[in-house]
Amino acid sequence: MASAANTPIDNSRAVERDDRKTAHLVGGALKPFPGSRVSKSFDFSREILRSPNMRQAGGSADSVKVDNPDHISFFFLDGEVHKRRRASVAAYFTPKAILTRYNPLMERMMDEMIADFRTKGSATLDLLALELAGAVTLEILGLTASDRTMTVKLLKKLMDSSDSFDKRPLHRFINDKILGPYHKARFAYLMKKLYTDCIVPAIEARKREPRNDVVTYMLKNEYSVKAMIIEVMTYAGAGVSTTREFMQVAAWQLFDHPELKERFLTEDENGQFKIIQELLRLDPVAGYLYRRTNEEVQSKVAGRLPKDQLLAIDIRASNQDASSVGENPYAIDPDRAEKQNQLPTWTSFGDGPHRCPGAQVAVHETRIFLNRLFRVPGLKLEKTPDIGWSMATQGYEMRNMIVSCTRA
């Protein structure tokens, strides 16, 4: 009899099998920017992302001013200046930093959250995920001189300021048009509060005691107030929003697939990473990545691409391109990447020079979160999540997934 660690997910009913949790949202919600050429091919998407003849594009990347690149988040930069700035923050995301700084923090956070969960007997999963992802992001940023819970709640209010769950036309008209000025004023107020209550105390603390974090870097390089807020919100969006959603969808998959849960709990760390990355392949949080050609490019996959061509990488479609990922592309197969001789992250974290620098932090967070959560006695899924679509991130959002356990 095969051990749980080596038991595959049954993919024999290939045509009928679809393990994706969020695919039903994509049809009406995931739309590329006008004028963009969309890549649904894994090979073409990877070629675009790795090309030195492309620059960041879409949304903020097209409108951001790069006249003072030292005061712009490196996420929006390209070329040598991007390479230099990325190197300056690389220390925040090294394996050593993850193992010595972030993993111990994750374990302490899970100790606290699991103890509270067992005392109460129930919890809302998106709030647990938010608390963990928020704590790790604040550590990376250096926003540790103010109350952590208060700071995470403030970031949550800022990130949740755009209601994505009620799509009824009347609701959207009232929320977006009539109440638009109110929401804009409230957002500005929350931004000011983030600076005065969270960033300023961190600045004062780092003046006294510099550390290896983002606030120390910004202070050293004399960032403006606006630049500091943008940098903090950029990290918060990447480190909190997306990781929170992925933790939830991965947990949902383990609840729905007992054999996968059993395999996850009996695997070593690397085996757990394989499962996590396969689940992210099926339900990547982000929708599109955008690039624009700097010059005419001759693609090995798609032929001639004119100068200034806007390209939209459909992450979900690229991750599920059967010609690259193999048969049964919508089914869970933790051994898929190994079979196809591919990196297990596919295009979920991007690729090339702009590949998500915090990818390994997110994967470690998710592993620790799931590993601790699913060992809680009597763990049950009481309510599946409400799912919305964020127009800001072009990705899914999950709320109100309720779990219960045996009380301690």
The yes-or-no verdict on residue 163 having pLDDT over 60 is: no
User: Pairing mode, if any, of strands 310-314 and 37-39?
Assistant: parallel
- What pLDDT, in 10s, does the model give residues 39-66? 999 999 999 999 999 999 976 666 666 6
What pLDDT, on the 0 to 100 scale, is given for residue 59?
A: 61
Q: Which tokens go with 184?
A: 């804009």
- Backbone φ and ψ of 341, nearest 5°: 55, 45
Domains of the chain, CATH where assigned: 18-66+79-404 (1.10.630.10)
- What pLDDT, in 10s, does the model give residues 10-32? 444 444 699 999 998 877 677 88
Average pLDDT over residues 207-227: 93
pLDDT band for position 324 (cuts 50, 70, 90): very high
How many CA atoms lie less than 13 Å away from 217 in the CB half-sphere? 23
C-alpha–C-alpha distance, residues 263 and 261, integer Å:
5
What pLDDT, on the 0 to 100 scale, is given for residue 256?
A: 98
C-alpha–C-alpha distance, residues 50 and 52, integer Å:
7
What pLDDT, on the 0 to 100 scale, is given for residue 11?
A: 42
pLDDT band for position 71 (cuts 50, 70, 90): low
Average pLDDT over residues 172-193: 77
Average pLDDT over residues 293-322: 96
The yes-or-no verdict on residue 171 having pLDDT over 90 is: no
> Concatenated DSSP letters for 301-327?
TTEEE-TT-EEEEEHHHHHT-HHHH-S
- Backbone φ and ψ of 148, nearest 5°: -65, -45
What pLDDT, on the 0 to 100 scale, is given for residue 183?
A: 72
Cβ 252 vs Cβ 272: under 8 Å? no
What pLDDT, on the 0 to 100 scale, is given for residue 61?
A: 63
What pLDDT, on the 0 to 100 scale, is given for residue 9?
A: 44
pTM for the model stands at 0.89
Q: Among 29-33, 115-119, 167-171, 289-293, which is the least confidently predicted range?
A: 167-171
Q: What is the mean pLDDT of the chain?
A: 89
C-alpha–C-alpha distance, residues 388 and 408, integer Å:
34
What pLDDT, on the 0 to 100 scale, is given for residue 377?
A: 98
What pLDDT, on the 0 to 100 scale, is given for residue 175?
A: 61
What pLDDT, on the 0 to 100 scale, is given for residue 70?
A: 63
Average pLDDT over residues 265-292: 96
pLDDT band for position 85 (cuts 50, 70, 90): confident
